[in-house]
Chain A
Amino acid sequence: MASYSTVSLPTVTTIHKTALYELHIELGAKMVPFADYQMPLQYSKGIIHEHLHCRNQASLFDISHMGQCSLKGSSAAIGLEKLTPAIISRLGSGRQQYTVLTNSDGGIIDDIVVTRLGQELTIVVNAACKEKDFKHLRKQLSNDCQLQELSEHALLALQGPSSSHVLQQVAPEACRLQFMQACRTEIDDIPCMISRSGYTGEDGFEISLPNRFAEKMARILLNFPEVEPAGLGARDTLRLEAGLSLYGHELDEKTTPIEAGLSWLIKNTHQSYPGAGTLLNQMQNGTEIQRVGLLVEAKMPVRENAPVFDNEDKLVGRVTSGSFSPSLGRPIALALIDTEAAVIGATLFTRVRNNLIKLTVCDLPFVPHRYHRS
């Protein structure tokens, strides 16, 4: 900033780089700002190619912008359990749980993944929610629970049907994991935590490791002929096809997990977390709105915030994510709409630039998940 300034300026957002920034540039990435990070939107072959490559072989994503932290202390699991609908105290070592941090209205502060290895819990949170989440956790967890931000850690995702064949050659023990299991291991002497998880709908792994080894690890994986780099553009179309919600789109502080299609996260036996009363009530009595999948019956993509109407032209909701589906070769969307209108097979409508477009409410996911479960 200009040094002559004498007034205090609003906080200037720093644009961070991940440990793989130089590698992205070398690989021809188009970099874009995302949640205060310079991230690869795509590489030279483009989003559609990267998307299909992930569905057919294996793709490497840099997701180091996401927040990682560890929770230690005897009260960590019990403490975290009071902030989420997940029964963290019964999460076994080597297991992962997808859940949400809720507010007192049952709205979603963030969607997170909790992993337990021995007595230690690690949490992965959304990049844009990092500060908010860590502040919330520090405030709510008791003093004998230590939260340590893993800001010196990178996170790589290797996703796609060939991922396990690749990892078999460098970390065979990781290939024994089932979906949502994790272990600590080494790849070429690099210490890392590997989990069998991801957000593409494909079998795949996420690898957390110290920043200083990230580039070496990425190069080891990219060296396999099956593996190509993929950016955030493909990550978004892959998760959309997999019917997976994205924070800030389907999920936010005003939307409950029940409305957002995450009622499977709620257990009747766990009632002591913020908003539990509201959520259990919604489980029993339903919600006024709900998340649905929409097949767009036109070639024109329908984007976020497009209005959704019923056949009497009544506004019933809005699109929360919309894009072209490379696997299906047509536009698809997720929307939050009135429950009355959320009937599988029903015809709804939207308008894009004065074009009336037909939408068909459909089952999710758009493209079947292929997670590795025994």
Chain B
Amino acid sequence: MNLLEVEGLEKSFGGVTAISDLHFEVPPGLVYSVIGPNGAGKTTLFNMLSGIYKPDEGRVRFDDHDLNGLLPHQVAQLGVSRTFQNLQLFFNMSVLDNVMVGCHLRSHSGPLSGALRLPNVRREEELTEHWGHEALEFCGLDDLIGREASALPYGALKRLEIARALASRPRLLMMDEPAAGLNDTETVELRALIRRICDAGITVLLVEHNMGLVMQVSDRILVLDYGSRLAEGSPEQIRSDPKVIEAYLGGEVQYAV
């Protein structure tokens, strides 16, 4: 039983095909990576999976639910969360508030009871704050709790996006280039974090350009080229796939593994 199934997905923008006849399955509990050169359609794919774009054709199923036609917040309700390639943090809020927004789907109080600050709201606030702390701790951000998000260095912001997504306790976490802009130490920490997320039972769908990271952390890899599937398999299979080496890596690049 797969967690995510994509069948015959198509998307074009004004005549330019971004994704064509794409199909793949993500089994639960894995780190599943999507790689491909710039413009291969990776972010478009993510935007379709999370409900931001509507596919022209094809079907996306998540854990027996059809995602077609759902809005992003409805997709999120099913247990999908994501991070963004260009940071989409709430820079007008504190670090803790950011992850507490992540807990939105785990709490229920409405505006009226919130405005009146009823006792059950107060309890829920404490609980949310606790969850927020948990998520920050999980991502190694606990010492930054009191800060404003706008005051954080870049590497911490990247982790804050992951913490916020984790705070919603998703079953599928989609990460769009989490290592972009990180230095080597931070990338090593990120690798450990991705493994920890996976070990916590959350399936990870990863888009990443850092091949070292992808090869080390992934259980399976999908290679996209011009919006269609070039290859799929374990890191070893991908590494030795002549099609991949030919088309994507140009046959000369060595992995830093």
- Is chain B a partner of chain A in the same complex? no
